[in-house]
Amino acid sequence: MTFLSPLFLWALPLAGIPLVLHLLNRRPPQKVVFSYIGWLKEAHQNFMPKKKLQEWLLLAVRTLLLLFLVLFFSRPVLQSGFMRSSQSQNSSIIVVLDVSASMGAVVGGVEVLEVAKQKLQQVVARIPGGVKLGLVEYSDRVESQLAPTAEHARILSAVLGSKVAPRPTNVLPALQMAMQMLGNQSAGNKSILIVSDQASNGWEQAKNAQGHWQGFDPSIGIVAWELSGPVSNSGIAEANLQLSEEGTLKGRWLASVDPATHSNWQLKLDGRGVDGGSLSELKDRSVELPLQAQLPEGGFYSGTLELSPDALRCDDIFYLAGRVPKGFHLLVVDGKSGLAPSDTESYYLRLALESPRDPRLESIQVIRPELLPQEHLANYDAIVLANTGPLEAQEEDLTKWIEGGGGLFLTAGSKWPKPPDVPLKLFRSRGLRSERQSVEPPKPDAPLLSDIAGLEGFQWNQIMVQDYIALEPESDQHVLLRLADGAPLLIQKQLGRGFVLCLTSSIDRSWTNLPAKPVFAPLIRELIAALADPLREQTSLNGFVDEALRIRMPAGVREATVVAPDGSTAGARVDKDGYLVWQAPNQPGLFRVMTDKKSSDFSFAVNIRDLAKEGDTSRISERDLKDALPGCPQQWIGYKTSGTDIVVASLEGRDTTFDCLAVALAAFFAETFLAWPKRKRSRVVLKAETAGAV
């Protein structure tokens, strides 16, 4: 027999209390001279044998009651399982080892996972060779697995080689895997040993599932081993930085605060501290704090938000990366004139950009086509040719300007050249089409459009196009918006380092009602911003472990090398849309993206998802374990319990804790039944003595 809470055995002498009281009560009797004891003797002879028997029974029952109460708290386990050699051949144990980020917590100077390894080493050494051992390492998924085998050295080697995974916790997939493994074993004793800090966040899904999953077997014994108790922890839940209208980087971050940790925080960007403070004076457990940094426009940044290290390190650092977008200068060449402002092509364009003014818009210049030769194109980040005719000599300058990285927005109209020409001859026209049509919704992942807020809910069929220019389809162009008949409405085309957008209808209301629709302003703002600054999507270069990142690369970059935080490098290709897709990073930190042009190098940040949950150090209870695995014989081994023999005993033994409680309860009721006449007599005596005193 082994005890899961042997500390309570110190209370075992309590079981002797009834005997001690019995002996103490045997004090010298009161002497009374009585008239005649003949009748007393007669009654005494009738009464004493029964009385003696009752007294001894009561003594025994009271001793039993205390003895089994102490045993109940000591949680005895009867060893009758695989330690018997005859049964060991049919026994299988799956060790389910938590390697989630929280297992990297340092308690007493030792990482919890290291503690797990050491203790598991001792447990494995105690398990007979005939017992098959399996291993499932898990975070929020199964990290690795080893099928049950009698070669314990393999399991031990795998355990000793395990590392903390930068992931949150979810025990459910591991339990499913372990039960599946045991399901494949022949009949016999089957147990799962869950070695974890037993943080409650990792059990949420298992508790919700309540065993309603395929392969759940309530006959499998569960031993949950809690390796560490709650620790003091302040952590970062999430953080972000964005360019504000004032041109500074502003953001917020969420912290969970444990006053016991006395944490300070610091925001470091590009190697220098730019913001910081203390969490010590905060009273709330969860707070939102502002971040601010002044960085040059158009430049990449990367850095960390760090807290003073505490026991749980994984949420003490948060990586941040991005690019400060730059403001742009816009030139609008308006090919149509009129008496009223609303007669011009540029009227709705200016409304969209200036009401209210786009913070990124530094200047807007509207000119007639004939004034274009006087403009120095290099002064502009984006140019709009709104319903312009042939531009003759300026077309070559414009093309070079685009190829050098400029962005051109071409809108159709009555002034356009005759088919098949279009301004700058970037496309081939098939001529004017006059047919009232609606607009098809764009694809959810359409370049440039997918990030525009509110677009997904817009009723695109409200936009009606009466006239448009049909263009020849070309392989190097991307259609962003189409009409109902499939004809392109908005086309993107790469040209050197820059690119062109072409709207095949007018930008005023003469050919379409688009400018009157609410989608017009955000659409135009984002399209112009994208033309002016193709990397504007990179204001945030943050991702999460195991989640692919899609990063807009500077124009013309086709290949890059990515250096991971651990120093490993890997090549990466840029897709035809100009994006670098980085598949599922497996570690948090800053990843450096290196291109052939040093000025285009930048970093992206990878963090652990659900840090707020992973940083929550609360633990599950035995009740939670029962909810998650209903019906399974269960054994909870708390972190205060030391000694691996308890774990071994739990794996192979039968928990008799509640049997002890049942015996104690039975003894309690027996005591009540036996002592009832005695208590009744005491009341009678009290009444009689009171009467005598009177």
Partner 1 sequence: MAKNSYLDPIIIAQLGNLQLRARRILEGLYSGHHINLNRGQSQDFSEHRPYNPGDDLKRIDWKIYGRTDRLVVKQYEEQSNVSATIILDDSASMGYAWGGRPSKLEYAKVLAAAFAYLVVSQHDAVGLLSTRHSLPANSSLGHVDRFFQELDQITPRGTWNPDAIARSLGTAMKKAGFVAIFSDLMAPSEPVINALRSIHARKHEVMIFQILDPAERELPYSGSVMFEDSETGEQLRTEPGAMREFYRRAVSERLTAFSHVFRGMGMDYLLLTSDTPFDRGLGAYLSWRGLNV
Side-chain-facing half-sphere of 677: CA atoms under 13 Å = 6
- Read off the tokens for 166: 């930068």
Among 7, 16, 39, 548, binds partner 1 (CB under 8 A): 39
Among 1, 20, 40, 57, binds partner 1 (CB under 8 A): 40
Q: Whole-angstrom Cα distance, residue 339 to residue 351?
A: 18
Q: Are the CB atoms for 502 and 493 separated by under 8 Å?
A: yes
Q: Which stretch binds partner 1 (CB under 8 A): 39-47, 303-311, 614-622, 632-640?
A: 39-47
Q: Which stretch binds partner 1 (CB under 8 A): 35-43, 319-327, 443-451, 607-615?
A: 35-43
Judged by CB under 8 A, does residue 33 bind partner 1? yes
Q: Which stretch binds partner 1 (CB under 8 A): 31-39, 114-122, 305-313, 367-375?
A: 31-39
Instruction: Please say which residue, 26 or 272, places its beta carbon nearer to partner 1.
Output: 26
Among 38, 109, 356, 444, binds partner 1 (CB under 8 A): 38
Q: Whole-angstrom Cα distance, residue 491 to residue 480?
A: 6
Judged by CB under 8 A, does residue 49 bind partner 1? no
For residue 353, give every residue at least 6 positions away whose Cβ sits within 8 Å of its Cβ, in sequence order, or none: 330, 361, 364, 524, 525, 528
Among 7, 43, 53, 581, binds partner 1 (CB under 8 A): 43
Q: Whole-angstrom Cα distance, residue 426 to residue 428?
A: 7
Among 10, 46, 125, 622, binds partner 1 (CB under 8 A): 46
Backbone angles phi, psi at 471, to 5 degrees: -110, 150
Q: Which stretch binds partner 1 (CB under 8 A): 19-27, 338-346, 489-497, 610-618?
A: 19-27
Sort strands 477-482 and 569-573 into parallel, antiparallel or unpaired.
Answer: unpaired
CB of 659 to partner 1, least distance (A): 34
For residue 541, give every residue at least 6 positions away whose Cβ sits within 8 Å of its Cβ, in sequence order, or none: 300, 302, 321, 322, 323, 549, 551, 602, 603, 604, 605
Judged by CB under 8 A, does residue 622 bind partner 1? no
CB of 651 to partner 1, least distance (A): 52
Instruction: Please say which residue, 49 or 108, places its beta carbon nearer to partner 1.
Output: 49
Sort strands 300-307 and 317-323 into parallel, antiparallel or unpaired.
Answer: antiparallel
Instruction: Please say which residue, 25 or 86, places its beta carbon nearer to partner 1.
Output: 25
Judged by CB under 8 A, does residue 272 bind partner 1? no
Reported residue count of the chain is 694
Judged by CB under 8 A, does residue 31 bind partner 1? yes
Among 17, 20, 47, 516, binds partner 1 (CB under 8 A): 47
Q: Which residue has the tokens 């009758």?
A: 80
Judged by CB under 8 A, does residue 30 bind partner 1? yes
Q: Are the CB atoms for 315 and 614 separated by under 8 Å?
A: yes
Which helix (H) or strand (E) segment holds residue 146: the answer is strand 142-149
For residue 494, give the nearest of 422, 560, 578 by alpha carbon.
578
- Helices 38-74, 657-693: axis angle to 10 degrees equals 150
Q: Which residue has the tokens 């005596």?
A: 685
Q: Whole-angstrom Cα distance, residue 16 to residue 23?
A: 11
Instruction: Please say which residue, 48 or 110, places its beta carbon nearer to partner 1.
Output: 48
How many residues at the interface with partner 1, by CB under 8 A? 33
Judged by CB under 8 A, does residue 37 bind partner 1? yes
Q: Mapping DSSP to helix (H, G, I), strand (E, B) and coil, where does residue 661 land? A: helix
Kindly provide the residue ranges of all beta strands, DSSP E only, lying in 380-463, ordered along the sequence.
382-386, 407-411, 429-438
Q: Whole-angstrom Cα distance, residue 631 to residue 649?
A: 20
Instruction: Please say which residue, 41 or 623, places its beta carbon nearer to partner 1.
Output: 41
Q: Are the CB atoms for 164 and 104 separated by under 8 Å?
A: yes
For residue 443, give the nearest of 460, 427, 468 by alpha carbon.
460
Centroid of chain to Cα 647: 31
Judged by CB under 8 A, does residue 679 bind partner 1? no
Judged by CB under 8 A, does residue 24 bind partner 1? no
Judged by CB under 8 A, does residue 109 bind partner 1? no
Instruction: Please say which residue, 14 or 686, places its beta carbon nearer to partner 1.
Output: 686
- Read off the tokens for 274: 């730019």
Q: Whole-angstrom Cα distance, residue 336 to residue 345?
A: 6
Q: Are the CB atoms for 427 and 375 separated by under 8 Å?
A: no
Q: Whole-angstrom Cα distance, residue 192 to residue 634?
A: 10
Among 12, 48, 57, 548, binds partner 1 (CB under 8 A): 48
Judged by CB under 8 A, does residue 20 bind partner 1? no
CB of 60 to partner 1, least distance (A): 18
Q: Whole-angstrom Cα distance, residue 336 to residue 179?
A: 74
What mask of x and - would describe binding to partner 1 in positions 632 to 671, judged by CB under 8 A? Answer: ----------------------------------------
CB of 232 to partner 1, least distance (A): 58
Judged by CB under 8 A, does residue 52 bind partner 1? no
Among 12, 14, 57, 688, binds partner 1 (CB under 8 A): 688
For residue 312, give the nearest of 356, 263, 277, 364 by alpha carbon.
263
Instruction: Please say which residue, 27 or 272, places its beta carbon nearer to partner 1.
Output: 27
Instruction: Please say which residue, 17 or 37, places its beta carbon nearer to partner 1.
Output: 37
Judged by CB under 8 A, does residue 21 bind partner 1? no
Instruction: Please say which residue, 7 or 37, places its beta carbon nearer to partner 1.
Output: 37
Among 19, 44, 454, 597, binds partner 1 (CB under 8 A): 44
Question: What is the signed CA dihedral for 198, 204, 205, 207, rounded to 10 degrees?
Answer: 90
Among 10, 19, 23, 42, binds partner 1 (CB under 8 A): 42
Judged by CB under 8 A, does residue 36 bind partner 1? yes
Judged by CB under 8 A, does residue 576 bind partner 1? no
Backbone angles phi, psi at 689, to 5 degrees: -65, -35
Q: Whole-angstrom Cα distance, residue 450 to residue 222?
A: 48
Instruction: Please say which residue, 378 or 691, places its beta carbon nearer to partner 1.
Output: 691
- Read off the tokens for 251: 């953001």
Q: Segment 482-541, which members bind partner 1 (CB under 8 A)?
A: none
Among 20, 41, 121, 622, binds partner 1 (CB under 8 A): 41
Q: Which stretch binds partner 1 (CB under 8 A): 392-400, 517-525, 589-597, 680-688?
A: 680-688
Name 78's bridge partners. Answer: 654
Instruction: Please say which residue, 22 or 126, places its beta carbon nearer to partner 1.
Output: 22
Q: Which stretch binds partner 1 (CB under 8 A): 77-85, 171-179, 360-368, 676-684?
A: 676-684
Q: What is the largest CA-CA distance in the chain?
A: 146
Q: Which stretch binds partner 1 (CB under 8 A): 44-52, 322-330, 431-439, 442-450?
A: 44-52
Instruction: Please say which residue, 41 or 425, places its beta carbon nearer to partner 1.
Output: 41
Instruction: Please say which residue, 25 or 337, places its beta carbon nearer to partner 1.
Output: 25
Q: Mapping DSSP to helix (H, G, I), strand (E, B) and coil, where does residue 419 land? A: coil
Which helix (H) or strand (E) segment holds residue 612: the answer is helix 611-614
CB of 689 to partner 1, least distance (A): 6
Judged by CB under 8 A, does residue 684 bind partner 1? yes
Contact residues for partner 1, defined by CB under 8 A: 25-27, 29-44, 46-48, 51, 678, 681-682, 684-685, 688-689, 691-693
